[in-house]
Homo-oligomer: A and B are copies of this chain.
């Protein structure tokens, strides 16, 4: 999704690298193959769990229109899940097995960040969607052409950002005192997201190598991972400011 708030750094990361070939060529390297299976598994479970959370948050909607809007976003996430699932099956992977390692970290993130009300749910949808888009953009550049097209397709706008931004602004205008609570909430979301992401990075070597520099990098480069997390955090900070929330 393309919003003005996305940082230049994150955007550059997605465009600066030349093609590394198609899936057939790249998948000959077992470490690359393992990394892409991890990536698609993580994204697929992420979409399925985004579906669940949006459907859950739809209950907090103050009106039937808002409820339907969130349900529509949930349905869009499900279709992304379906595409990722089908690709996993298409390249001969067991989709469930590929998703399983990411179920617990993602479930933990959602458990720790259950929104208490409608504005918290909106901020979470916005922040979550934007961090996911930044992450996809970071990783897209390091992927073979086929996997990259898929990743860019599933990061296509589901309408979260615009809807959430507009509704959060309205909510703050109507009741300015909630801004402080929502700013804290945004910080907590980012903190929990980073802590679960670091857990995944520490546990999944192939995926981490892919994230920090492609298959040529062996070993775990903490500095590069830190830089990526920093870029994503900076983009988050700018978006929260644009929303009228100090981060």
Q: What is A's interface to B at a CB cutoff of 8 Å?
A: 45, 48, 51-52, 55-56, 58-59, 63-65, 67-68, 71-72, 74-75, 78-79, 81-82, 85, 96, 99-100, 103
Contact = CB atoms under 8 A, between A and B. Distances in A.
The quantity of this chain's copies bound in the complex is 2
A74 B68 contact: no
A75 B79 contact: yes
B55 A67 contact: no
Majority secondary structure of chain A interface residues (helix, strand, loop or mixed): helix
17 contacts: A45-B64, A48-B68, A51-B75, A52-B58, A52-B71, A55-B55, A55-B56, A55-B58, A55-B74, A64-B99, A68-B81, A68-B85, A72-B78, A72-B82, A74-B74, A74-B78, A75-B79
A71 B78 contact: yes
Contacts of A99: 64
Contacts of A72: 78, 82
Given A55-B55, A56-B55, A78-B74, A67 B48 contact: yes
A68 to B, nearest CB: 6
Contact of A103 (B55, B59, B64): B64
Nearest to A73: B78
Contacts of A75: 51, 74-75, 78-79
A183 B67 CA distance: 33
A5 B64 CA distance: 35
Contacts of A100: 64
A48 B59 CA distance: 11
A6 B144 CA distance: 50
B59 A52 contact: yes
Contacts of A63: 96
Nearest to A79: B75
Given A48-B68, A64-B99, 17 more contacts: A48-B67, A48-B71, A51-B71, A51-B74, A51-B75, A52-B55, A52-B59, A55-B55, A55-B56, A55-B58, A64-B96, A68-B81, A71-B78, A71-B81, A72-B82, A75-B75, A75-B79
A55 B64 contact: no
Q: Which of A59, A75, A79, A103 gathers most chain B CB within 10 Å?
A: A75
A59 to B, nearest CB: 7
A75 B72 CA distance: 8
Contacts of A58: 52, 55
